[in-house]
Chains A and B, each alone.
Chain A
């Protein structure tokens, strides 16, 4: 019970900081980066539900992100569909697709699942590229409208920041709730020992398909928000490289940690700004980070920070005990 109260407090503090940050920022450039950190956090949390909790890998999550962006983009540019409704339809489409392909592919394990999701991601990427009449092909889809809420138009960084972070914070809270519930425990049980989980009555296959569907749903919402924020989308944002980037966010942040997903998303969103000097070699830096983190901080940065924190607290307690 005390643990639960502490968690609510941590979340409230986190949300408060996030919502107050824009007040202390002068320029709009950094606010713009924070908007993308919000979208990437949403994606990392979605992938973390699948990878960190249920232990099922996806190398094609950028496809659901892309599907969300394109469905919303196409519906709002070619049909007179309200952007909010389009967002909902896009998320439903991604969820339906995830449900249909999840049934067969989530029977696969380990490398085979990685290959199947990789294949799915590549097929979707080709689809975005080749259906030129709908998606605009490699030259992209432009003229996507901004979201509106009554008199509020989300066409500037400040408004977008609040819109995206409200949704991201909401999804983070729901994910934290989920992780400490019956379903969260069952997912973690599947991760640790699928056979034991099944013997305990957990229908592992159905649950994996369910979480894959939820994960795709959230990813597509992120995709729609991305499309409405950018007002222009092209296939390169939704390729294999981005799937790997998402994976990197989740792993370096910390598998199974929602705040870790935020940390991973924040670092990987800001990193390119610092890595400009390396030009095309930035992918080498990602790889190196992934190797070092998996070797020396298997629980990710959030786990590493926790350990560090405990050591410091221990040191302080130790020194006060000695002084007393």
Chain B
């Protein structure tokens, strides 16, 4: 589904990622873990087109998507969420999800300004689909609230709803559980499985080990910009190199 080949990222004199390769199976849930500064978010930013890597290639299916812009990747079915929750604060919850449906509609400036019949029909479709996604994540009651007034946990859910509205093949979540309490994390775990049931592939960067070990089928460990291990949760937990990286060598 997603294949990363020999990614190297150098910022000035600092090597943030060094020759990282891995692949993600379709319809799987993959976790990327590692200590702070391991290069997890940098890797996400490269895959989602926000950074330009120094070396290496990224494939989505058979398609080489290295150096693609994020707006093109969205159309190809690759979306992400952000560690610091990037919502459209001034817009309502429903409108946020409707922006997620941007690629599912095509009215231009003129048909929007003139409210041509096609645009009215499309608008109705977009509104209906957006409502369905809010129902999926349980935010229906908050549809008309301005996104900036949402509590943090609900903001996270909104960001996921908005990403789902793109109807992606693969969704990358950057620390989805950061800042959530244990009950919210449990809801999130269930939601991630529900997304997988829809046939989507999920990759998440996460510090919450309980969540990672619970939902992920496959885990990639990064340390100091290099891939340290790749395996099932059980294999990772028993891997001496991983234990050493996390707990320090004795």
Contact B91 A195 (CB under 8 A): no
- Encode contact with A along B89-116: 1 for CB under 8 Å, 0 otherwise: 1110001001110110101110011110
B112: which of A182, A195, A199, A201 is its contact (CB, 8 Å)? A182
CB of A319 within 8 Å of the partner chain:
no
Contacts of A197 in B (CB 8 A): 88, 99
- How far is A219 from B82 in the complex, measured between Cα atoms in Å? 38
Contacts of B115 in A (CB 8 A): 177, 181
A198: which of B69, B88, B100, B105 is its contact (CB, 8 Å)? B69
A199: which of B48, B105, B113, B114 is its contact (CB, 8 Å)? B48
- How far is A196 from B96 in the complex, measured between Cα atoms in Å? 10
Among B70-78, B132-140, B191-199, the one that faces the other chain is: B70-78
Residue of A181, A188, A192 with most partner-chain B CB within 10 A: A181
Among B10-18, B118-126, B215-223, the one that faces the other chain is: B118-126
- How far is A177 from B111 in the complex, measured between Cα atoms in Å? 10
User: Which residues of B, 148-179, contact A by the 8 Å Cβ criterion?
Assistant: 162-163, 165-166
Contacts of A214 in B (CB 8 A): 109
A182: which of B88, B114, B122 is its contact (CB, 8 Å)? B122
User: A-side binding surface: helix, strand, loop or mixed?
Assistant: helix
Contact B123 A200 (CB under 8 A): no
Give B contacts to A, CB under 8 Å.
48, 50, 69-71, 73-75, 79-80, 82, 86-91, 95, 98-100, 102-103, 105, 107-109, 112-115, 119, 122-123, 126, 162-163, 165-166
Q: Can you list 28 pairs linking A and B with CB atoms under 8 Å apart?
A: A177-B112, A181-B113, A182-B98, A182-B123, A183-B107, A183-B108, A183-B109, A184-B112, A186-B102, A188-B91, A189-B91, A193-B88, A193-B89, A195-B86, A197-B88, A198-B74, A199-B70, A199-B74, A199-B86, A199-B163, A200-B100, A200-B162, A200-B165, A200-B166, A201-B71, A201-B166, A204-B71, A210-B109
